[in-house]
Chain A
Amino acid sequence: DQQVKQNSPSLSVQEGRISILNCDYTNSMFDYFLWYKKYPAEGPTFLISISSIKDKNEDGRFTVFLNKSAKHLSLHIVPSQPGDSAVYFCAASGETGANSKLTFGKGITLSVRP
């Protein structure tokens, strides 16, 4: 039973346009959400996070939106750049402190065309 779902395996976007990556979750106990970016043969790199008490968090070109009632979050990248081409993982956590286990989705491969 997958608790974090990234239903679209891939996304292709023109450089300069907006990339929207979606993520759904089923566990209502999740209260902290993160996005990671991963290049081949490297470990995931933390991008941005959001707590369940917020509905939006912005960091430069990256914005994460959270809709708790729909159990849905999305990552917006504006403007998209070729260097953004990577696999993006959505992750969720139900607790903080010593029990902060992350549950990951399967990832979305983003390709930004020059």
Chain B
Amino acid sequence: EAEVAQSPRYKITEKSQAVAFWCDPISGHATLYWYRQILGQGPELLVQFQDESVVDDSQLPKDRFSAERLKGVDSTLKIQPAELGDSAMYLCASSKDGYEQYFGPGTRLTVT
């Protein structure tokens, strides 16, 4: 069964450093999402791509976060500089038809 791939699974970084996460969606899924999940909360959308175009980045802290999906396939989410409050699970999801979204295993970020 096809799955969404994410790496790394775990990342520990010091505040003010740069960090990047990678996501490879299920083949053929045009829509890709990055979510952030803080412990005890549900996932919150950071950015949504349709192919290589950003559809929604209204909740992305653009002063420090950036996301790209250059060829409309895999995607990278970057944080620079990282802050203590960025510690969370970063989840990538993809969707073929805009209904069900399928999630990857996530990247657990700890900022020290």
**Chain A residues close to B by CB (< 8 Å):** 4, 32, 34, 36, 41-46, 49, 89, 91, 93, 95-102, 104-107
Given contacts A4-B42, A43-B106, contact A102 B101 (CB under 8 A): yes
Return chain B residues, CB-CB under 8 Å to A49: 99-100
A46→B100 contact, CB < 8 A: yes
Among B33, B93, B99, B105, the residue within 8 A (CB) of A96 is B99
Write 27 A-B pairs (CB below 8 A) sorted by A numbering. Answer: A4-B42, A42-B105, A43-B4, A43-B6, A43-B104, A43-B105, A44-B43, A44-B103, A49-B100, A89-B42, A91-B42, A97-B97, A98-B50, A98-B55, A98-B98, A99-B98, A100-B95, A101-B56, A102-B33, A102-B43, A102-B101, A104-B43, A104-B44, A105-B42, A106-B40, A106-B41, A107-B42
A104, B33: Cα distance in complex, Å:
14
B31→A98 contact, CB < 8 A: yes
- The total of Cβ contacts below 8 Å across the A-B interface reads 67
Q: CB-defined interface of B9-40 with A at 8 Å, one 1/0 digit per residue?
A: 00000000000000000000001010000001
Return chain A residues, CB-CB under 8 Å to B56: 99, 101
